[in-house]
Amino acid sequence: MSAPAHPSTDADATPGAGSTAAAPAPPVSPTRRGLLGAVPATVVVLVLAFVPFFLAEDPVTILTRILVFGMFAVSLDLLVGITGLPSLGHAAYFGVGAYTAGLVAVHWTPSAPVPVLLAAGAGAVAALLTGWLAVRSHGVFFLMLTLAIGEIASQLALQLDDITGGSNGLPVPSIRFGSEPFDADFRIAYTYWYVLAIFVVGFAAMWLISRSPFGLALRGIRDNEDRMRSLGYTPFRYKYVVYILAGGFAGLAGGLFAQVNRLVSPVDAGFALSAITLLALVLGGAGTLWGPVLGMAVVVIVRDYYGPDLGGHGPLVLGIVFVVAVYVLPRGMAGLAGLLTGPRRRTRRSIVPGEERTS
Partner 1 sequence: MVDWFDANLVSILNGFAIGSLLFILAVGLSIVFGMMDVLNLAHGALYLVGAYLAYSLLDGGATWGAFLGALGLAAVFGLVAGGVLSGMTEPLAKRPILDQALLTLGIALIVAEILAIIYGNDVYRIGAPPGLDGSVSVAGNTYPLYRLVLIGIGLFLAVVVWLVMEKTSIGALVRAAVADREMVSAMGIDNRKVKVGVLAFGSVLATVAGVLGGPVYGVRPGLDETVLLLALIVVVIGGLGSVKGALIGALVIGQVDSLGRALLPELASFVLFGALALVLILRPQGLFGPKKVAS
Partner 2 sequence: MSDHLLELSGVTRTFGALTAVDGVDLAVPVGSRHALIGPNGAGKSTLFKLVTGSMPVSSGRVVFDGTDVTRMSESHRARRGISQTLQHSSLFLSQTVERNVLMAAQRQPGGGRRSLLPRRQRAARDRAHELLTDVGLANRSAALVSALSHGERRQLEVAVALACEPRLLLLDEPAAGMSPAESSRLVGLLKALPDTVTLVIVEHDLDVVFALATSVTVLHLGKLLLTGPPDEVRASTAVQEAYLGTGREALFLDTPASPSLAKGDRTTELGVG
From the list partner 2, partner 1, none, pick the one residue 152 interacts with, judged by a Cβ distance below 5 to 8 Å according to partner type. partner 1
Find the binder of partner 1 among 4, 7, 52, 86 (CB under 8 A).
86
Which of 42-50, 99-107, 191-199, 348-356 is the region at the interface with partner 1 (rule: CB under 8 A)? 348-356
Minimum distance from residue 317 beta carbon to partner 1 (Å): 9
**Binding to partner 1 (CB under 8 A): which residues in 264-283?**
270-271, 275, 278-279, 282
Give 47 or 316: the residue with its C-beta nearer to partner 1.
316
Find the binder of partner 1 among 88, 221, 250, 280 (CB under 8 A).
88
Minimum distance from residue 32 beta carbon to partner 2 (Å): 13
Dist CA 300 CA 309 (whole Å): 14
Dist CA 279 CA 293 (whole Å): 11
Give 234 or 341: the residue with its C-beta nearer to partner 2.
234
From the list partner 2, partner 1, none, pick the one residue 357 interacts with, judged by a Cβ distance below 5 to 8 Å according to partner type. partner 2
Q: Is residue 159 a contact residue for partner 1 (CB under 8 A)?
A: yes
From the list partner 1, partner 2, none, pick the one residue 88 interacts with, judged by a Cβ distance below 5 to 8 Å according to partner type. partner 1
Q: Is residue 345 a contact residue for partner 1 (CB under 8 A)?
A: no
Which of 53-61, 64-72, 178-186, 318-326 is the region at the interface with partner 1 (rule: CB under 8 A)? 318-326
Q: Which amino acid is at 268?
A: D
Q: Is residue 327 a contact residue for partner 1 (CB under 8 A)?
A: yes
DSSP 343: P
Q: Is residue 98 within 8 Å of 268, Cβ to Cβ?
A: yes
**Cα-Cα-Cα-Cα dihedral of 50, 51, 54, 56, to 10°?**
-150
Q: By the criterion CB under 8 A, which residues form the site for partner 2?
A: 15-16, 20-28, 30, 212-214, 216-217, 219-220, 223-224, 226-234, 345, 347, 353-354, 356-357
DSSP 176: E
Dist CA 238 CA 348 (whole Å): 27
Find the binder of partner 1 among 8, 21, 136, 306 (CB under 8 A).
136
Q: Is residue 110 within 8 Å of 173, Cβ to Cβ?
A: yes
Give 20 or 261: the residue with its C-beta nearer to partner 2.
20
Minimum distance from residue 335 beta carbon to partner 1 (Å): 13
From the list partner 2, partner 1, none, pick the one residue 25 interacts with, judged by a Cβ distance below 5 to 8 Å according to partner type. partner 2
From the list partner 1, partner 2, none, pick the one residue 275 interacts with, judged by a Cβ distance below 5 to 8 Å according to partner type. partner 1
Q: Which amino acid is at 280?
A: A
In degrees rounded to 5, what are phi and psi of residue 65? Answer: -65, -40
Task: Give the contacts of 300 (CB within 8 A, at least 6 positions apart).
Answer: 62, 65, 66, 69
Q: Is residue 320 a contact residue for partner 1 (CB under 8 A)?
A: yes
Task: Give the contacts of 39 (CB within 8 A, at least 6 positions apart).
Answer: none
Q: Is residue 253 within 8 Å of 69, Cβ to Cβ?
A: yes
Q: Which residues of 201-236 are buried (b: 16+ CB within 10 A; e: fewer)?
A: ebbeebbebbbeeebebbbbbbbbbeebeeeeeebe
Q: Is residue 73 a contact residue for partner 1 (CB under 8 A)?
A: no
Residues of the chain by 3-state class (helix, strand, coil), percent to 5: 75, 5, 25
Question: In this structure, how many other beta carbons lie within 10 angstroms of the beta carbon of residue 6?
Answer: 16
List interacting residues with partner 1 (CB under 8 A).
80, 86, 88, 133, 136-141, 143-145, 147-149, 151-152, 155-156, 159-160, 270-271, 275, 278-279, 282, 313, 315-316, 318-320, 322-323, 326-327, 330, 348-352, 355, 358
